[in-house]
Amino acid sequence: AQAAALYAGPFLDDFYVADSDLLEDWMVTTRERLHQQMLTALSKLTEQQETQGKWDNALASVRRLLALAPWQEEAHCQLMRLLARSGQRSAALAQYDTLTQMLMDELGVSPAPETDAL
């Protein structure tokens, strides 16, 4: 939870040095690695909070995850499950519609069968 709270965005996002391809390559690689670590941490944190029945915390964590990676279908599924378990069925259905539209618009695909089964 502390690591997730400390993440402030992409590593050295506004930093630039002219004619420094090696530095740029290192920054991009490091930025992507840290971003992936953050996504993994948020996903695990959400699962832990869900297991503990901390619905509000889990909802906040998965929403932060989706803000960083809106294309992650599993995170959308986590959000839909949490919304349904916390009594927000219409919000869960609206999230499914949001996911379906995003997948179609961005990738030209439908949700996975496991998502439809939710």
Q: Is the pLDDT of residue 3 over 70?
A: no
Q: Is the pLDDT of residue 91 over 70?
A: yes
**DSSP string for 4-51:** HHH--SSTTTT---TT-HHHHHHHHHHHHHHHHHHHHHHHHHHHHHHH
Higher pLDDT, 4 or 91: 91
Q: Is the pLDDT of residue 92 over 70?
A: yes
**Count of structural domains, the chain:** 1
CA torsion 50-56-57-58 (nearest 10°) is 40
Instruction: Supply the CATH number for residue 71's domain.
Output: 1.25.40.10
103 is in which domain, residue-wise?
Answer: 2-117
CB 66 within 8 A of CB 72: yes
The pLDDT of residue 27: 74
pTM: 0.75
Residues in the chain: 118
* Among the ranges given (32-36, 59-63, 64-68, 91-95), the one the predictor scored with the smallest mean pLDDT: 32-36
The pLDDT of residue 117: 82
- The tokens describing 98, both together, are 């949001």
Q: Is the pLDDT of residue 54 over 70?
A: yes
What mean pLDDT do residues 96-112 have?
89
Question: DSSP label at 53?
Answer: T
**CA neighbor of 85 nearest in space, from 63, 114, 57, 53:** 53
The pLDDT of residue 34: 83
